[in-house]
Amino acid sequence: MSSGLTPTSKAEWHPLREIMVHQPGAEVVYSLLSPKEHLYGGPISLSNHGTGLFEQHANVLDTYRGEGVKIHMLQNLVLSNPSSRIEAKNIVMKSLHKAYGRSNLYTQEDLSHIESHADKIIDGLPPEFLWQVLATNPELSSNYKNGHEDARYSAPKIELQVAGNLFYMRDQQFTTDRGVVMGGMKFEQRRYEPNITRLAFEQLGIRPILEIDGEYSEERPTFEGGDFIPAGDFALIGVGDRTNETGSKVALKNGALGFDQVVVIYQPSGQHIMHLDTYFNIIDDGLCTADRTKLTKKVNVFDRDEHGYKLSSTTTLEKYLAKKGFSVVGISPEEQKRYVANFITLGKRKIMAPEIKTILPDSDYQKRLEREGVDVIPLDVSELTQGYGGIHCLTCVLKRG
């Protein structure tokens, strides 16, 4: 299927046209059985008289629609793609191989028919169950081995690699001035997610221009979309907890970026500042917001020529932004921890932002923005931010301009 969509995002202040999002579902429930191990700050209210995570997410989508932004729903796209059944079949076959190979209940003939057995499971599976297979990635326990005289008395446990962070749709990929780049997720909890979003891009007829991926080792490249911000003639890449320097080099060397300059920021470490967009964001050409205490870190500036990108200078982000003529609306470290900078820019000086009064009643951050002529649409996302992200993190930008 081709949607006729040509993905591009050259600057955060260009009008937001099309996005992809995912409505959180049962996979979040499973993740909340051990929230911190699944990269949440703690327990989350999923539905609470209109103020839970599900309702807050739905309100974000309603606001996007009201602003004329076209929304592509991840789950609908994936389930419309015939390749999704192939992906689900591969998941099922992993466990069938493990069971048939380790249990005395199965014969050699059973082993020779594993693929047809997987087909029986997947072919007629209703869409809602197919999605559960994809979003939970079930597999027999890795230590399963059955040698009991009657193996029926020793059923294996099922392990789930739950995509509980999937609704943070910024991270599995990012959109540059040249197209979509598939990222490489750092933590095992999220490494499977690009497999799902890739199915959605295939259904849209979008071919990623680059895949930042590798073997699961310390040296593999990682790059998460929250560490990329386009800004007209330059772009920013954050290197830190989630995106490593190897990942940034892959992005610079493989033709995925057409910006005149790319600035690689060596950012501080910490869960609350895991991505660039948790403490920095752009509102308009010449106007950004940031926790100023994070702007003194070293940055490398790369210029593009006919051969690619070459290091031209080293400075700080604060000095680089000043040279580019950007004013900074400062935020405090406490405001940063509440993700007030994790807004989405809808167009020039118009943003959809976390509602500050619900989380920090004494903050005057919205007034500071309004003094700069910024039109702020505040939304309560207090439950959504329990996963260390806000509205910017929820949104996969497909097209600006």
**Structural domains for the chain:** 16-73+165-400 (3.75.10.10), 80-160 (no CATH)
pLDDT band with cut points at 50, 70 and 90 for residue 359: confident
Q: Which two structure tokens, joined as six digits, stand for 213?
A: 């991926």
What is the spatial distance between Cα 95 and Cα 119, in angstroms, rounded to a whole number? 14
pLDDT band at 331 (very low <50, low <70, confident <90, very high): very high
pLDDT tens by residue, 14-34: 999 999 999 999 999 999 999
Tokens read off for 263: 């600035």
Look-up: residue for tokens 């609470």?
Answer: 48
Closest by CA position to 360, among listed 342, 389, 334: 334
pLDDT digits (tens, 9 = 90+) for 301-311: 999 999 999 99
Contact 77, 131 (CB under 8 A): no
Instruction: Tell me the C-alpha distance between 21 and 147, whole Å.
Output: 46
Cβ neighbours of residue 364 closer than 8 Å, sequence gap 6 or more: none
Burial of 123 (0-12, 13-18, 19+ CB in 10 A): exposed
Measure the N-to-C terminal CA separation of the chain; round to a whole number of Å.
24
**What phi and psi, each to the nearest 5 degrees, are found at residue 388?**
70, 40
Nearest residue to 238 (alpha-carbon basis) of 284, 286, 294, 288: 294
The residues, ordered by sequence, that sit 6+ positions from 255 with a Cβ below 8 Å of its Cβ are 178, 209, 210, 308
CB 10 within 8 A of CB 174: no
Residue with tokens 């046209």: 17
Q: What is the 3-state secondary structure (H, E, C) of 103-124?
A: ECCCCHHHHHCHHHHHHHHHCC
Spatial CA neighbour of 241 closest among 231, 255, 226, 256: 226
* pLDDT reported for residue 216: 41
Please name the residue ranges forming H helices in 41-184: 53-66, 74-80, 83-102, 108-112, 114-122, 127-136
What would you measure as the largest C-alpha separation in the chain, in angstroms? 77
Q: Which residues are registered as beta bridge partners of 236? A: 229, 263
For the stretch 378-390, pLDDT in tens is 999 999 999 999 9
Least confident of 38-52, 209-223, 226-240, 369-383: 209-223
- Tokens 């959504």 found at: 384
Q: What is the pLDDT of residues 157-183, one digit of tens each?
A: 888 999 999 999 999 999 999 999 999
Residue 129: phi and psi, rounded to 5, are: -80, -35
Average pLDDT, the chain: 92
In this prediction, residue 255 carries a pLDDT of 93
H-helix or E-strand spanning residue 331? strand 327-331
Element (H, E) at 358: none
Tokens encoding 15? 């009008």
pLDDT digits (tens, 9 = 90+) for 29-71: 999 999 999 999 999 999 877 789 999 999 999 999 999 999 9
List pLDDT tens digits, range 82-141. 999 999 999 999 889 888 887 777 888 988 899 999 999 999 899 999 999 999 999 888
pLDDT in tens, 251-302: 999 999 999 999 999 998 888 889 999 999 999 999 999 999 999 989 999 9
Of the pLDDT bands very low, low, confident and very high (cuts 50, 70, 90), residue 218 is low
pLDDT higher for 272 or 246?
A: 246
**Residue 342 scores a pLDDT above 50:** yes
At residue 85, the pLDDT reads: 94
Distance (Å) of CA 109 to CA 12, 100, 114, 149 = 58, 10, 9, 20
Q: What is the mean pLDDT of residues 200-228?
A: 87
Q: Decide: residue 170, CB within 10 A, 0-12 exposed, 13-18 middle, 19+ buried.
A: buried
